[in-house]
Structure 1
Amino acid sequence: MQSPKEAKGRWQRFKDTLATVSVEPVMLLDGLAFSNMVVLVENLQMDKICLNTLGESEDVCNNLNDHTDVKKAMSKEAAVFQMYNGVIISLLPLFFILFMGAWSDKYGRKVPLVASMIGHLFYSGGYLFNSVIMKWPVEWLLLVALFESLGGGAVSFLTAANSYISDVTSEDTRTSRIGLANSIWFLGGPMGTLMGKFIFDAGGYKGVFGTSVVMHIVAIVYIIFYLPESHGPFSNKERMKKIIPSKPSLRIRESIAWIYGIDKKKNKGSTRNKTSGEIHREDITLRMMVSDFFNPRRLMESVKSTFRPREGHIRMYVLLLIFSNVLRRLGR
């Protein structure tokens, strides 16, 4: 039988481990919510094309193998719709992330996390409403995709989540924590797909999309009320001390300086480095944050950062990753 001291030690270790949990629950919820509805998204699109665009009856749409001409016409309409849908979902987040990355380095991670999650909520909520009102044309789903893209999509969410984990981890644990968190997000894929199958059998489209809506709402509440800001002038330094020793906001880490090719000697003369290294909260206004987000300089900084020469052929790896993602998108 274990002594009270041993039991207390184990409980304390459990609490310490639990205290290090940060954005991982949000990543699991997002992975589950997305995969829960991903298969049914295309099914709803096809149903609306058949019922509304082609004007066929429900009996015909449910027995397409017996109506090959309708099936062929529906496939053509679906290809055109999915092309527009893919452009909206892929291109708009690209421009969003070019501005948001540098912005979050200055003001923090919670805003892009909440923005991307609200976009996901609009996506699942939009499909829920469209499944309730089947007479709405399929083009309404393009508007749903637009709202989702305005939040930055999955690219913005994963970028902000990985940046958050980087903020709250030490150099020793950062790689393993980022790998674990991304594994949790991808784990939501098979789990969510399996879960969606059972939910659809029990509650149809409404059950599936409604479940994703609930998970996105829970994730937003978690981010706003539980997750402390990890970076920038709005960071919760008292809570962050319990997770990792505090560090100056906007500090240029040695690893980041090496990867991005930043010359720290040039930055020593700047006004920000002469002071505390931080932007003070009282000096920031909402107007400043909004105007800073839409500053064209952010785009130029991102482009320059991408093509900046780096040691160890890092630039080649970055460009190869970008090219690989472009090929993956084209293949889809």
Structure 2
Amino acid sequence: MEEKTESARENILNNKKYGKRKSVRFKYALEPAYFVLYYAFNLTSAVLQNQMLKQTCLKKGYSMDICTNLNTNDETKAVEELIQPDVAKINMSILLLNSIFPGTFSLVLGSWSDIYGRKKILMLSFIGYSTTLGLIALFSFISENVTTLSPWVYFFSEMPMTFLGGWPTLDIAVCCYVADLSTDKTRSFRLGLIGFFNFFGSATAYFTSSYILAATNITILFIIGFACSFTAMLWALFMVDDSIEPSEHVSNGEQFKQIFSPLRIKEIFNSLCKIRPMKCRQILWALIAIPTLIVFTMHGNGTLNYLFVREQFEWSLRQWTTYESINSVLSVTGIFIGVMVLKKGLQISDMKLGILGLASFTVDAFIKAFATKGYMLYVSSGVTLFRLLSTPMFRSVMSVAVPHHEIGKVYSLTTCFEALSGLGAGPLYTAIYNNTFTVFTGAYHLLTATAFIIGLILAGFIVRWKSQGVTNQYD
């Protein structure tokens, strides 16, 4: 077994039987599927929190009239304050579920895909997302038309996506696929384009969700989300070519066994821990830590932001989705200006753009923490336009910090840490929110700001190490 794996790895290094394809049919075929999948997921998530609040309210014995009009008067606001901690705990449990197995699974997938191809793990994630969205639609239909189900059913609906790798699987597949089909000079553009489609899909989903809900009902909305994800899966299956040319002499069964080979993990840690010249190892670990901190905050904020705006500003679902759509449009605009104007036009380096993104994130967190009026969130989104540049820029820097045959390993370990960060983010953010939301609703944003300040410090060390003699690839 180990001899076969060693041989496979040698073939990668020598670019003989394994390695990047010379061409694919459609160089940008992945982006449409990626956009539609994120549209489907965010269309569902935009209103799922509302559905969970409603079902929690009903299961606690309150009337349908109260549960469908939460936060509209003093009585229903008091009811919502009683049930919000329960919904926060469900969100925390979903986050933990989506961290443990996907985080562990993602550790080996990048190294494995260096040999056996990106498309296989890409399809795993599309199948998982589609199945989960289908179950959400089913549970919603039963709850709305048959009998009110416990909101915990949405925790169980996450399991197909989780056990097929979840977002870490998708993240690894997409990043490795883009790295395969781009050069060092074009990689930040391609990663920025992926970020563009991500948040454009989110903006479109948030903008349309409340209108679809008003015109139909929540079950129909969930069915539309499932149909979109299923369409994206079919597109990826038939239109996206693998960027890696795998060996024809290794059976599918043997490939599957190799996923769980201990040698996969050994290869990853050998790659990350080996001595590199000119402080490249320290730089690489700092580059892994920064995206992990960013995702840590996204884990924590993502479970609480809707509850935050309802408590702090008494926003309705439409006000929330309107804000999120505008926020996503501004984020997309920031990515576009950053990549096309600052990067390609003014030739500002990936490292400097990444630092600009971190600084913007920090300011955004402080504004949200102390916001007393809803319009302040819009101000924050405009002032911190470039915050989402940080992740694609640091990943671009990361991709040139190691040889190409090690990119999958580096992305695997990074995604593993990002996923497992949810184990800390979920309980910590939920504990802070549940203990402060009636007196200082935005307290958890101060934790977010602290994480970004640490990221800025690490970025400063990278710049310093570079100035001490590391090659100019980090300029």
The answer, yes or no, to whether TM exceeds 0.5 is yes
Q: Distance in 1 between matches of 2:276 and 2:50?
A: 46
Residue in 1 aligned with 2:45? 38
Q: 1:290 to 1:123 in 2, by over 3 A?
A: same
Deviation of 1:330 (Å): 4.2
Partner letter of residue 252 of structure 2?
Answer: L
SS state at 2:216 partner: helix
The question of 1:286 aligning with 2:252 is answered yes
SS of alignment partner, residue 35 of structure 1: helix
Any conservation in 2 of the 1:306–1:319 contact (CA below 8 Å)?
Answer: no
Decide which structure has the larger Cα Rg and report it. Answer: 1
- Residue of structure 2 aligned with 1:157, choices 143, 149, 170: 170
Correspondent of 1:116 among 125, 130, 133: 125
- Partners of 1:93 and 1:152 within 8 A in 2: yes
Write the letter of the residue equivalent to 1:329: H
The structural deviation recorded for 1:318 is: 2.1
| The one of 98, 102, 116 aligned to 1:93 | 102
| 1:41–1:68 distance in 2 versus 1, CA, 3 Å | closer
Aligned mates of 1:308, 1:213 — CA distance in 2:
44
Deviations 1:202-246 (A, max 9, x none): 11212221111111111111111121122031xxxxxxxxxxxxx
**Correspondence 1:314 to 2:316:** no
**Counterpart position of 1:59:** 65
Query: Structure 1 CA distance, aligned partners of 2:269 and 2:295?
Result: 17
Amino acid at match of 2:258: D
Among 41, 52, 55, which residue is 1:48 paired with? 55
Report the Cα distance in structure 1 between the residues aligned to 2:225 and 2:138, rounded to whole angstroms. 13
**Aligned-pair CA distance for 1:114:** 0.8
State the AA in 2 paired with 1:202: A
Contact 2:41 2:229 in 1 (8 A): no
TM-score by length of 2: 0.53
Distance in 2 (alpha carbons) for counterparts of 1:309 and 1:37: 46
Query: Given the superposition, is the C-alpha separation of residues 219 and 126 from structure 1 closer, same or farther in structure 2, using an over 3 Å criterion?
Result: same
After TM superposition, give the deviation of residue 19 of structure 1 in Å: 4.1
Return the TM-score normalized by structure 1. Answer: 0.74
Larger mean Cα displacement after TM superposition, 320-329 or 80-89: 320-329
| Aligned AA (1:75) | Q
1:128 to partner: Cα distance: 0.5
- Structure 2 CA distance for partners of 1:169 and 1:37, relative to 1, 3 Å: same
C-alpha distance after superposition, 1:220-278 (max 9, x if no partner): 11111121122031xxxxxxxxxxxxxxxxxxxxxxxxxxxxxxxxxxxxxxxxxxxxx
Q: What displacement does 1:156 show?
A: 1.8
Using the TM superposition, give the Cα deviation of residue 306 of structure 1 relative to its aligned residue in structure 2, in angstroms.
3.8
Determine the C-alpha separation between the residues in 1 that align with 2:237 and 2:301: 37
- Give a deviation string over 1:137-184, Cα, whole Å, max 9, x none: 222211111221122222321221121122223444333222212211
Shift in alpha-carbon separation, 1:331–1:60, aligned structure 2, 3 A: closer
Find the aligned partners of 1:130 and 1:295 in 2 and give their Cα distance: 37
Which residue number corresponds to residue 178 of structure 1?
Answer: 191
Letter in 1 for 2:108: F
- What is the deviation of 1:60? 2.3
Secondary structure (helix, strand or coil) at the match of 2:62 reads coil
Deviation at 1:328, TM superposition (A): 4.2
Identity %: 23
Given that 1:35 and 1:193 are in contact with CA atoms closer than 8 Å, whether structure 2 keeps it comes out as: yes
Distance 1:130 1:329 in 2: 24
- 5 Å-filtered alignment, 1:9-28, equals 19-28=26-35
Report the number of matched residues: 269
User: What does 1:225-244 align with in structure 2 at a 5 Å threshold?
Assistant: 225-233=238-246
Aligned residue for 1:281, secondary structure, equals: coil
State how 1:155-304 maps to structure 2 within 5 Å.
155-233=168-246, 280-282=247-249, 284-304=250-270
- What is the CA-CA distance between 1:331 and the residue it aligns to? 5.0
1:71 is matched by which residue type in structure 2?
E
Counterparts of 1:64-143 in structure 2 under 5 Å? 64=70, 65=73, 66-67=75-76, 70-134=79-143, 135-143=148-156
The separation in 1 between residues aligned to 2:269 and 2:251, in whole angstroms, is 27
Tell me the distance in 2 between the aligned counterparts of 1:177 and 1:324. 20
In the TM superposition, residue 97 of structure 1 has moved relative to its aligned partner by 0.9
Question: Deviations for 1:96-145, whole angstroms, at most 9, x for unmatched residues?
Answer: 21121111111111111111111111221111011101122222211111
- Which sections of structure 2, spanning at least 5 residues, go unmatched? 1-24, 303-475
Q: State the AA in 2 paired with 1:295.
A: S
Residues in 1 aligned to 2:230 and 2:220: alpha-carbon distance in whole angstroms: 15
Distance 2:294 2:76 in 1: 40
